[in-house]
Amino acid sequence: MKKLLFLFLLLGGSLAAGAQEAARTALLVTHYGSSDEQTRALTLDALTRDARQRFPQAEVREAYISPVVRRRLAGRGIHKDSPVDALMRLRAEGFRRVFVLSTTIIEGGEMASVRADAARMAPFFDRIEVGNPLLFSVADCQRVVDILTRGEEPGRGEAVVFVGHGNQLPSTATYAMLDYMMRAAGHDRFHVSTIEGYPTLATTVAQLKRERVRRVTLVPLLLVCGNHTKEDIAGTWRAELERQGFEVTVRMQGLGENADIRALYLDDVALGD
């Protein structure tokens, strides 16, 4: 009922908005979210800050997709809008054009949620556009491969395994493509695997054994080093690899800490005139 009232007021504001307000443009950066203050500062906050520096002509706001993360932060007195709430707030303030940038990795459930939220709010704006996830096109994947492998080449008996979240949707094939691209580029000691999709831990272990790898470095293919890094990668994955006889180290660094990755996200932004 509260949101319906807000929408009614929003429509009233839309009718009253002047010609000057109609030209106002905003960039809404939507993150899944993180309740870890340190990793949030190094990744999500850094990306939003980069957006403000790169697009000074636009009002830059952020929203968190995860209701669980929003509730946790609210318990600490930190408020984060949902994508819909952020869009309603922008419209109530007179913004008529919005570009929505989602910092998701692949075209999965979270990206679908952002697209649905934008479509729901589209009638209240002159223009609302939604960008694509980090790994959307073949060219996107190639650029990410170049960044991830730049300046690093494991030695004999060593391997670097990038571990993404993954899902049970067709989009999980993006990770397999990334793995293939690394091999095609001659980076034979780099692998890509997933926690909940494909390639799996089992398939990756089999590859490592065929290549007679002894030392493995696990690197999260995630925007932030959150629970998946601490519990799954540094926990379950490390334990299983050590049980299989590998020496394992975990690089606790999210993709969002890499300035080149953050720049790739912002390259997708098109604010128009």
* Burial of 222 from C-beta contacts in 10 A (0-12 / 13-18 / 19+): buried
The total number of structural domains in the chain stands at 2
User: What are 18's two structure tokens?
Assistant: 């002047």
pLDDT range class, residue 24, cuts 50, 70, 90: confident
Q: Is the pLDDT of residue 9 over 70?
A: no
140 or 18: which carries more pLDDT confidence? 140
Inside any domain, residue 271: no
Mean pLDDT of 153-174: 94
247 and 142 fall within a common domain: yes
Q: Is the pLDDT of residue 59 over 60?
A: yes
149 and 195 fall within a common domain: yes
What distance in Å separates the CA atoms of residue 219 and residue 221, rounded to the nearest whole number? 6
155 and 223 fall within a common domain: yes
157 and 90 fall within a common domain: no
What distance in Å separates the CA atoms of residue 262 and residue 158, rounded to the nearest whole number? 28
Range list of H helices, the chain: 2-16, 19-22, 37-42, 44-54, 67-74, 83-92, 109-121, 138-149, 173-184, 201-210, 227, 238-243, 259-267
Inside any domain, residue 210: yes
150 and 104 fall within a common domain: no
185 and 249 fall within a common domain: yes
Mean pLDDT of 22-27: 78
Q: By the 8 A CB rule, do 54 and 268 touch?
A: no
Listed residues 89, 117, 133: the one ending a domain? 133
The neighbouring-strand residues paired with 215 are 158, 247
Inside any domain, residue 157: yes
Inside any domain, residue 195: yes
Cα of first residue to Cα of last residue in the chain, in angstroms, is 36
**Count of alpha carbons within 13 angstroms of residue 15, beta-carbon side:** 5
How would you write 61-87 as a 3-class SS string?
Answer: EEEECCHHHHHHHHCCCCCCCCHHHHH
Q: Which of 157, 165, 244 is nearest to 202 (CA)?
A: 244
Q: What is the pLDDT of residue 228?
A: 73
User: What are 26's two structure tokens?
Assistant: 């905003």
Mean pLDDT of 45-59: 96
> Can you give the CATH number for the domain in which 232 is found?
3.40.50.1400
83 and 109 fall within a common domain: yes
229 and 156 fall within a common domain: yes
- Structural domain span for residue 25: 13-133
User: What are 59's two structure tokens?
Assistant: 């009002």
Inside any domain, residue 160: yes
Mean pLDDT of 17-42: 80
Inside any domain, residue 237: yes
105 and 49 fall within a common domain: yes
Angle between helices 83-92 and 2-16 (to 10 degrees): 30
What distance in Å separates the CA atoms of residue 101 and residue 25, rounded to the nearest whole number? 13
Mean pLDDT of 94-107: 96
172 and 188 fall within a common domain: yes
Q: What is the pLDDT of residue 149?
A: 96
Q: Which of 39, 40, 77 is nearest to 62 (CA)?
A: 40
Q: Which of 61, 94, 59 is nearest to 80 (CA)?
A: 61
27 and 113 fall within a common domain: yes
Q: What is the pLDDT of residue 2?
A: 47
Q: What is the pLDDT of residue 5?
A: 43
Listed residues 133, 162, 183: the one ending a domain? 133
Listed residues 67, 100, 133: the one ending a domain? 133
Inside any domain, residue 241: yes
111 and 32 fall within a common domain: yes
Residue written as tokens 């080449």?
153
How does pLDDT run across 202-258, given as a tens digit for each residue? 999 999 999 999 999 999 999 998 877 888 999 999 999 999 999 999 999 999 999
Q: What angle do CA 39, 89, 33 make, to 5 degrees?
A: 15
3-state secondary structure of 35: coil
Q: What is the pLDDT of residue 70?
A: 96
Q: What is the pLDDT of residue 273?
A: 57
**Mean pLDDT across the chain, nearest whole number?**
91
Q: What angle do CA 76, 79, 80 make, to 5 degrees?
A: 125
Q: What is the pLDDT of residue 18?
A: 42
